[in-house]
């Protein structure tokens, strides 16, 4: 008998991936089907397992991919196939998310479901704008209202008289297009025209915009600023707290659009750090890390591993691939007994230490030249050195080892190849200079970036965008490719690169 399907109605939260729940993430990792809305972040979708089927059912103003009835039927259809189905909805499924309708439909058709609440944009978005929806000096209550009510509707489900005569905070969701009508109704039923109002667009995200005014003038301000949905509307005295409590816009990289060209598998540390500092990290991986197709020389070196005196790692990629292959050859760290290990960079060292091994030498300067300095006098004539590395890496390190009359076996275990799955819209923004910074963390990211963007396109980039490089070798490569380098990290690490961005 086939497995019976199951439906999870999961709240994706207001937008910031950091506000997605741990339970939601765990369920996403095992789901067969992800049925998701328009405002769900791509970084949240990335939590799903790679074999999941993704179905977009987003709704924009007057443009629905599927009707609500069709979405309901889709949930039941996929559950009927025995699938674990995640219905991923912005905010919370039960706060104007029609989650109740979907759950009832699923149950009526014989399937079980579970609700995974999400952080509602009604609370989180004002908080990210520095507006507490309740504040002891202003109000102790808050009312959540749908903003979809239209002027001329025969029977309103909103008690405008109660809202107009009250003093509580009112949060309208999905109401920007009806803003003038909302303000008119509140004033008509007793709210002071000078009551503060805030519109918060793309709340909790780096693109967040806030427009403030009063009931009497906010509709005109919205028109003048061409302020578009999606946005949350906050009405009440609490809006006055924004000037004292705004925090997101005070972050040092707020408003900066920063391109990250690292491989997807490595980008998270830099992306997270930029985001923590308020920047908009735009992932545009110029390279993808791929193990070498022919690893025969690597396999042979591993069989003879106990003959080596030194093992040198110049990147985290080399460490990762080396130990994966070591395991595949039925070997482990015991086979590295007695071999001294050198590494470039603190992150590379940390990764090796996590494998249970001690790193003997890490240079002060995280480039091959620094490692040569640190190894001189340590590697003796006649020593055997294993150097697993990338295709196309500079020859300066093995050349130096040979000058010391030691034997070096340079085995190519991976290569950095151009990334093919990139968004054209991001590419056009970069070409036209619509970003503030482009970061490069290796020479290969520079070369492949230029291959993707086009060798003829650095002129506009140089005019509008600052180039930030992790170190002098990468910076030299960027200059050779016609890019004007504005920032070079003093310490050749991700933290060093971020520090350089902050000082620019």
Q: What CATH number is given to the structural domain containing 45? A: 3.40.1010.10
Most confident of 65-74, 100-109, 418-427: 100-109
Residues 405, 435, single domain; the answer is no
Residues 445, 327, single domain; the answer is no
Indicate whether 200 belongs to any domain. yes
Owner of token pair 């741990």: 22
Residues 316, 265, single domain; the answer is no
Q: Cα-flanking dihedrals φ and ψ of residue 115, to 5°?
A: -100, 130
- pLDDT greater than 70 at residue 155: no
- pLDDT greater than 60 at residue 62: no
Give mean pLDDT, residues 77-94: 96
273 pLDDT tier (thresholds 50, 70, 90): very high
Beta carbons of 452 and 424 less than 8 angstroms apart: no
Three-class HEC string of 239-271: HHHHHHHCCHHHCCCCCCEEEECCCHHHHHHHH
Q: Cα-flanking dihedrals φ and ψ of residue 192, to 5°?
A: -65, 130
Domain stops at, among 418, 442, 458: 418
Domain stops at, among 119, 147, 172: 119
- pLDDT greater than 50 at residue 1: no
Percent of the chain past pLDDT 90, that is, above it, reads 79
Cβ neighbours for 393, distance < 8 A, ≥ 6 positions apart: 314
Indicate whether 342 belongs to any domain. yes
417 pLDDT tier (thresholds 50, 70, 90): confident
Instruction: Sheet with 287-291: list strands edge to edge.
Output: 287-291, 407-418, 384-390, 310-313, 340-343
| Residue 327 tokens, joined | 């395991």
- pLDDT greater than 70 at residue 106: yes
26 pLDDT tier (thresholds 50, 70, 90): very high
Q: Among 242, 177, 188, 245, which Cα is nearest to 213's?
A: 242
Residues 316, 233, single domain; the answer is no
**Cα atoms in the Cβ-side hemisphere of radius 13 Å centred on 286:** 22
150 pLDDT tier (thresholds 50, 70, 90): low
- Would you please indicate which residues are annotated as catalytic (active-site) residues? 37, 59, 174
Give mean pLDDT, residues 104-121: 97
Q: String of b and e for 47-73 (b: at least 16 CB within 10 Å)?
A: bbeeebeebebebeeeeeebeeeebbe
Tell me what pLDDT residue 428 has.
Answer: 87
Indicate whether 108 belongs to any domain. yes
Q: What element of type H or E holds 370?
A: helix 368-375
Tell me what pLDDT residue 263 has.
Answer: 85
Residues 265, 229, single domain; the answer is no
Indicate whether 451 belongs to any domain. yes
What is the CATH classification number for the domain harbouring 140? 3.30.950.10
Length of the chain: 504
d(CA 162, CA 186): 9
Beta carbons of 320 and 413 less than 8 angstroms apart: no
d(CA 310, CA 342): 8
Tell me what pLDDT residue 44 has.
Answer: 94
| Entry pTM | 0.82
Name the least confident of 4-18, 147-161, 280-294, 403-417. Answer: 147-161
Strands 340-343 and 407-418 turn out to be: unpaired
Residues 328, 437, single domain; the answer is no
Tell me what pLDDT residue 268 has.
Answer: 85
CA angle 231-233-234, nearest 5°? 140
Q: Which domain holds residue 55?
A: 6-119
Percent of the chain past pLDDT 70, that is, above it, reads 96
What is the CATH classification number for the domain harbouring 379? 3.40.50.10090
| Residue 391 tokens, joined | 């295709």
Owner of token pair 């809006």: 239
Indicate whether 191 belongs to any domain. yes
288 pLDDT tier (thresholds 50, 70, 90): confident
Mean pLDDT of the chain: 92
Tell me the pLDDT tens digit for each residue of 67-82: 999 999 999 999 999 9
Tell me what pLDDT residue 154 has.
Answer: 59
- pLDDT greater than 80 at residue 65: no
Residues 372, 305, single domain; the answer is yes
Residues 203, 261, single domain; the answer is no
How many independent structural domains does the chain possess? 4
Name the least confident of 46-60, 151-165, 466-480. Answer: 151-165
| Residue 68 tokens, joined | 């609500």
Residue 88 burial by CB count (10 A; 0-12/13-18/19+): exposed, middle or buried? buried
Residues 427, 279, single domain; the answer is yes
- pLDDT greater than 90 at residue 423: no
Name the least confident of 118-132, 298-312, 450-464. Answer: 450-464
Residues 274, 164, single domain; the answer is no
Indicate whether 1 belongs to any domain. no
Which residues on neighbouring strands pair with residue 426, listed in sequence order? none
Tell me the pLDDT tens digit for each residue of 164-220: 999 999 999 989 999 999 999 999 999 999 999 999 999 999 889 999 999 999 999
Checking phi first, is residue 50 left (phi over 0); if not, alpha (psi -120 to 50) or beta? alpha
Strands 310-313 and 340-343 turn out to be: parallel
Residues 389, 273, single domain; the answer is no
41 pLDDT tier (thresholds 50, 70, 90): confident
Indicate whether 137 belongs to any domain. yes
Strands (E), 76-155: 84-89, 112-116, 142-146
Residues 355, 264, single domain; the answer is no
Indicate whether 444 belongs to any domain. yes
Domain stops at, among 369, 391, 418: 418
């Amino acid at each position: 008998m086939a497995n019976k399907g199951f439906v999870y109605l999961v709240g994706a939260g207001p937008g910031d991936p950091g506000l997605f729940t741990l339970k939601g993430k765990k369920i996403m990792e095992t789901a067969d089907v992800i049925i998701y809305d328009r405002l769900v972040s791509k970084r949240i979708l990335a939590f799903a397992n790679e074999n999941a089927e993704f179905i977009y059912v987003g709704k924009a103003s007057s443009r629905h991919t599927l009707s609500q009835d069709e979405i309901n039927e889709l949930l039941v259809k996929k559950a009927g196939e025995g699938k674990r189905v995640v219905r991923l909805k912005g905010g919370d499924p039960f706060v104007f998310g029609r989650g109740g309708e979907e759950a009832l439909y699923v149950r009526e058709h014989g399937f079980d479901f579970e609700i995974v609440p999400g952080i509602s944009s009604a609370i989180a978005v004002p908080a990210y704008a520095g507006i507490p929806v309740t504040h002891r000096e202003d109000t102790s209550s808050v009312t959540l209202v749908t903003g979809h009510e239209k002027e001329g509707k025969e029977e309103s489900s909103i008690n405008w008289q109660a809202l107009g005569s009250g003093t509580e905070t009112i949060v309208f969701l999905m109401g920007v297009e009806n803003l003038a009508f909302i303000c008119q109704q509140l004033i008509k039923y007793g709210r002071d025209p000078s009551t503060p109002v805030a519109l918060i667009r793309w709340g909790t995200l780096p693109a967040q915009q806030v427009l403030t005014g009063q009931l009497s003038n906010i509709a005109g301000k919205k028109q003048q600023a061409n302020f578009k949905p999606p946005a949350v509307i906050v009405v009440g005295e609490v809006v006055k707290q924004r000037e004292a409590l705004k925090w997101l816009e005070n972050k040092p990289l707020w408003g900066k659009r920063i391109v990250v060209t690292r491989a997807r598998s490595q980008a998270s540390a830099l992306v997270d750090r930029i985001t923590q500092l308020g920047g908009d990290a735009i992932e545009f991986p110029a390279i993808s890390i791929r193990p070498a197709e022919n690893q025969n020389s690597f396999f042979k070196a591993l069989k003879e591993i106990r003959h080596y005196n030194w093992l040198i790692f110049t990147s985290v990629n080399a460490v990762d691939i080396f130990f994966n292959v070591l395991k595949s050859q039925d070997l482990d760290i015991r086979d590295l007994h007695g071999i001294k290990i050198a590494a470039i960079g603190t992150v590379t060292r940390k990764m090796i230490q996590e494998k249970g091994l001690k790193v003997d030498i890490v240079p002060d300067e995280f480039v091959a030249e620094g490692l040569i300095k640190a190894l001189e006098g340590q590697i003796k004539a006649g020593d055997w050195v294993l150097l697993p590395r990338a295709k196309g890496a500079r020859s300066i390190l093995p050349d130096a080892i040979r000058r010391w009359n030691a034997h070096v076996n340079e085995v190519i275990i991976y290569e950095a190849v151009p990334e093919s799955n990139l968004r054209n819209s991001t590419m056009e923004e970069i070409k036209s200079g619509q970003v503030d910074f482009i970061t490069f963390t290796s020479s290969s990211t520079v070369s492949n970036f230029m291959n993707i963007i086009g060798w003829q396109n650095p002129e506009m980039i140089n005019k509008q965008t600052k180039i930030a490089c992790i170190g002098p070798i990468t910076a030299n490569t960027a200059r050779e490719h016609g890019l004007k380098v504005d920032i070079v990290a003093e310490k050749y690490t991700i933290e060093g690169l971020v520090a350089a961005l902050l000082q620019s």
